Structure 1
Amino acid sequence: MISSYADLMKAVAEQSEPQRLLFVFCRAELPDDASDEEKAGFERGEGGALTPVVCVDKAPDEVTDFDALVAESRETGQHWDVVFVAAMSGRGGMKPSSDEAQQPLTMMVESIRLGHLGNYLPLDSRGQALALG
């Protein structure tokens, strides 16, 4: 069971094929037409929609430290609440390139926009896994 970014990095290191990590940083937002009840829930940290604001792919050795990843993400000027992570496996001992990651990363962003979150690991800004639902 992966409950943190550190757990994820251990699991990635144990894979038989080299990996590439896909990150989609999302901001929690309320729609303009939210009801008072929805607004109150949102203030308690419930509900809302997750809007992708930044996405990037990285080799695991580029992101060993979650705090450094967070600092880099903040340089974009985009506030985010949740980062979704997926791993992409290489083949034949070759790690996936950034070019190869572009289509899966685009599909990941679109999946998140549509609310299909089950295939991704959601983490908070401290690198702890979140239970969404």
Structure 2
Amino acid sequence: MISSYQDLVQASRKEPEPQRFLFVFCKAELPDDASAAERAAFERGEGGALTPVICVDKTPDEVPYFDVLAEESRATGQDWDMVFVAAMSGRGGHAPSSDEAQQPLTMMVESIRMGHLGNYLPLNKAGHAISLD
């Protein structure tokens, strides 16, 4: 069971082929037409819509610790509330390239925009897995 970013990195190193991680950082926002009940829930940290604000791909070696990833995201100046992670397996002992990751990353962004989140690991700002129930 993966409960943190560090668990994910460790699991990736046990895979038979090198991995590339796909990251989509999202901001929780309240729609303009939200009801009073939706606004109250949002104030309690519940509900809202997830808007992708940053997407990037990296190998586990490029971001061995969540702090490294979080620091890189801060450098963009873009605020975020959670990050979704997916992994791609390489072939022949080589991790997928950034070019190979672009289409899957674009599909991941679109999937998150549509609310299809089940295939991704959601992490909070501390790098711990969170439940979106």
What CA distance in whole angstroms lies between the structure 2 residues aligned with 1:71 and 1:5?
Answer: 14
| Cα distance per residue 1:36-68 (max 9 Å; x no partner) | 100000011100010000000001100001111
1:14 equivalent in structure 2: 14
Query: Which residue of 1 is the match for residue 34 of structure 2?
Result: 34
Amino acid at match of 2:96: P
Once the 2 structures are TM-superposed, how far is the Cα of residue 94 of structure 1 from its aligned partner? 1.8
Match of 1:93 in 2: 93
Helix, strand or coil at the partner of 1:60: coil
TM-score (norm 2): 0.98
Structure 2 unpaired stretches of 5+: none
Gaps of 5+ in 1: none
What is the RMSD of the two structures over their aligned residues, measured on CA atoms?
0.6
Listed one character per residue, the Cα deviations across residues 66-93 of structure 1 (whole Å, up to 9, x for unaligned) are 1111011011111100100000001121
Q: How far apart in 2 are the matches of 1:35 and 1:122? A: 26
Q: How does 1:49-128 map to 2 (within 5 A)?
A: 49-128=49-128
Partner-residue secondary structure (3-state), 1:20: strand
Q: Find runs of 4+ consecutive structure 1 residues off by over 4 angstroms.
A: none
How many residues are aligned here?
Answer: 133
Question: Using the alignment, how far apart are the partners of 1:36 and 1:47 within structure 2?
Answer: 12
Aligned sequence identity (%): 74
